[in-house]
Amino acid sequence: MNHFKHLIFTTVATIIALTAGAQDIKYQMPPKEIAEIIMSKPFPNVIFSPDYTRGIIAERECALVPLATLAAEELRIGGIRINPRNFTETRVSFFNTITLLDVATGGLTQIAEIPSDAMIRDIKWSPSGKYFCFLNENPDEMELWRVNVTDPTPKAVKINRYKVNTTISNGNAYEFLDDERIIYKSVPSDIGPVPTPTLPDGPVVQENLGERNSVRTYQDLLSSPFDKALFDYYCTVIFAIYSSGETSLAGPKEVVRDYDISPDSRFMMVTTEQHPYSYMEGHNSFPSIREIRTISGETLVVLSDTNKEKAEKALRDKAPKDTSAANIPEPPLKMGFEWRSDMPATLVWREGESSPPPFAAPDTNADDKEEQPEKTFTDKIYQCSEPFNLEEKQLVLAPEYRIGRITWGNSQLAVYTESSQKQKFTRTVAFTPCDTIAPKHILFTESTDVDTLGNFPVYGRFWTVPNQYGRRVLYTDSKCSHLFLNDTRRPDENGDRMSFIDKITIKNGEIENLWSGAAPYQERVIGITDFNRLKFISERQSISEVPNYYAVDIRNRKNSHRQFTFFENPVPILSKVTRNFVTYKRADGVTLSANLWLPAGYDQERDGKLPVLMWGYPYEFKSVAEAEKSRPARYNFLRPGYGSAVLWVTQGYAIMDGISMYIISENKDKEPNDVFLSQLIMNAEAAINFIDSIGIGDRDRVAIGGHSYGGFMTANLLAHTDLFKAGIARSGAYNRSLTPFGFQSERRNYWKAKEVYDKMSPFNYADKLKTPILIIHGQMDNNTGTFPIQSERLYHAVAGHGGTARYLQLPYESHGYSAYENVMHMLYETDAWLTKWLSPEEVAKVKERQQKEKERKDKAKDKKNE
């Protein structure tokens, strides 16, 4: 036996007993090489100042937390999870340390008086870059701290007088109004005692009176009046404003969903949540009021009130057609309120028809109708300024087609997108705001049809810079003659996606490429520091080089990249393994790909064929060309996390990571999922045939695994093929009737596509699932569709039909796993499962059983034919 096989299979004796019953076991550790990788330090984050002269290096010692952290008291209400001790949202990532970085020199400055045992999050720079702030969570309070980076010895100072409330943060628990003033959501000091449960005075009732209300399946919803009381208690906030050491309160106590400060910081647009709350949807779908206020909290105008609008619509709908109420014209729908980022305090909005309901295909709830000509000018963009009388509005733009995104520049220039569903295009247009006579310039047009040839261009996004208000606006020259474009998705000659910077001339749409990334690096533009000489900050990495930051000057050909961070390889144990990007074809000629990892020191002639672990995730496409363009990145440096199959390259396995699992429509009129199973199987067969044909993988010892939709993929492959000897299905959904209003890219509902839903559900084929399957699920998974009952029912079904299955439930875990004890044990179980079922001895036993079963069936068939 060669040394790789010996490495894998000498631990067979340590495998835990596999039985159909429940088992009480203690947490275990995976092999030390895997544990070492998991405990390695995650890559640092760098948050750059607005002018890119400084950065904050934020680091975390370990990506995992103790199980006790997850086990702490937690409320799951309104679609969010709350720590009731300190009024924070739980399960949010954080940093332990922060260090100040000088971009010019690469020098590092320690920040004094950082709180001990820090749990830092939401780091933000002030508009000028003089200060930065961060939140720090401690057991009883979320704190707000500020650092003056211009001090000779920068130190952190706690500035919040009131406890910060982050239960509904949306990334803006606090915001800079200017360098010296900061607004934050605080816990009211007179909030009173926590509501206590009482005996219900009646049942919980839900009712629908003929309205369509098709929503996807959600977890952590309200379920009782007591839940509603808790939601109000923990999510009620009052705005606090810190200024020069003093703190004042602004506005009433309320449940704030979101707020947006005007660029000049004189006004704020606030959205508050209103009763009646829903038992079917999360808090973001609760009734709401949106209004404009002064920064001190005085309400100036109500922009929308969904309860009032719903009542008015009901009145119109119910009124007899010949009454005055029925003849009142429906007011134009106002939506998409936002501040113009290039103006001090100018409100803009869209008026027109409502958008189609989310998750619904055009024909989901309608019969076929005669094709109608496409409407034009369905939307108009308006604006107004103080005192924000929406009737005294000014027309900003009247697009020809359905409006999309607007990116503001200045009073002379902005850019918008508009799209035509009928003509299948989206075009990007430059215009002069509020000047309906000035000519518009079509910058480029993109097809939204199926890319059958794979040659649709990638234009990217327009580059924006902070203006005098600290808001991001289009960068252009003084004559407004050109703009810059940037993205990371433009394929090079080999089909690998690369970053680029382009310059586009507004007058004629002519595009000039100024810079493009090149192999063997993966590079991302962070910030442009000089548009004339094209100097910029980039993050660059390769297969062998960890991500680091560089000051780039493309005119300096001798030293175009000056490195100013020097982060080291956190996983040196992987430095000697081999990684290759491989391509292969499936039976219908579609080119597939994967990253193939081989153990350190592997010699094909000496070591022969290896056991193989494949890991994948299905994606849907409308054409072959679109699918083949989506291949995984091959020039990134990998620090495997707990969910990566690459961990097992340290145990002697060949790893095919990111195997292509393309599900491609047969034609434009068909949906990809109409051929889900046949193409899923074809993808798997191609991967096994490839690894076997190059003499590296043993086709009789291949396991398949995946997380979420990848777990769903795994169960389907095991139920419909005998290609694999084992499977690992993590946090998947296996019965599609439990996600009846769509999943992934499937927009048809269960009743419109029942055959597709049923055929794609491995639960329905549990009697055919005989390959050993390890089913793993977090007990508190709140991801849409992947409730823990999905795994529980699959396990019961497989076990009930005599299949081989093991069901691992991870206490307190959500859709992703974060507790040290759970993650290590999950990896231990996965390693044990692979070792058990991919051992040569077990494979021989399986073959023997299969042969005996074949002989039994042949005899029965012969006897029947006699």
Q: Which residues are catalytic?
A: 708, 781, 815
| DSSP SS3 for 357 | coil
Which tokens go with 277? 């709350």
| DSSP SS3 for 612 | strand
In this structure, are residues 296 and 307 in contact, taking their beta carbons and an 8 Å threshold?
no
Which tokens go with 854? 């074949």
DSSP string of 747-781, one letter each residue: -S-TTTSHHHHHHH-GGGGGGG--S-EEEEEETT-
Q: Is 736 exposed, middle or buried (0-12, 13-18, 19+ CB in 10 A)?
A: buried
Q: Which residue from 762, 796, 610 is spatially nearest to 680, judged by alpha carbons?
A: 762
Q: Which long-range contacts (CB under 8 A, 24 or more apart) does 371-374 make?
A: 374/401, 374/420, 374/421, 374/422, 374/423
DSSP string of 141-163, one letter each residue: EEEEEEEETTSSS-BEEE--SS-
**Whose structure tokens read 């329905």?**
764
End-to-end Cα, the chain, rounded Å? 47
- Cα–Cα distance for residue pair 774/444, rounded to 1 Å: 50
Q: Which residue from 631, 556, 542, 534 is spatially nearest to 592, judged by alpha carbons?
A: 631
SS (HEC) of 397-448: ECCCCEEEEEEEEECCEEEEEEEECCCCEEEEEEECCCCCCCCCEEEEEEEC
Q: Is 281 exposed, middle or buried (0-12, 13-18, 19+ CB in 10 A)?
A: middle
Q: Give 473's strand partners.
A: 465
Q: At what angle do helices 709-720 and 676-693 cross, to 10 degrees?
A: 80
Q: Which residue from 591, 604, 560, 595 is spatially nearest to 574, judged by alpha carbons?
A: 595
CA 567-570-576 angle, to 5 degrees, is 115
In this structure, are residues 236 and 188 in contact, taking their beta carbons and an 8 Å threshold?
yes
In this structure, are residues 221 and 75 in contact, taking their beta carbons and an 8 Å threshold?
no
| DSSP SS3 for 855 | helix
Phi, psi angle pair for 308, to nearest 5°: -65, -45
Phi, psi angle pair for 276, to nearest 5°: -80, 135
Pairing outcome for strands 120-125 and 108-110: unpaired
23 Cβ contact list (under 8 Å, min separation 6): 16, 17
Q: Which long-range contacts (CB under 8 A, 24 or more apart) does 257-262 make?
A: 257/168, 257/170, 257/283, 257/284, 257/286, 257/288, 258/170, 258/172, 259/172, 260/338, 260/339, 261/175, 261/177, 261/183, 261/295, 261/339, 262/339, 262/344, 262/345
In this structure, are residues 415 and 406 in contact, taking their beta carbons and an 8 Å threshold?
yes
Which tokens go with 402? 């359905």
In this structure, are residues 222 and 279 in contact, taking their beta carbons and an 8 Å threshold?
yes
Sign of CA dihedral 27, 31, 36, 42: negative
Compute the chain's Rg from CA coordinates.
Answer: 29
**Whose structure tokens read 């019953």?**
21
- Cα–Cα distance for residue pair 622/630, rounded to 1 Å: 12
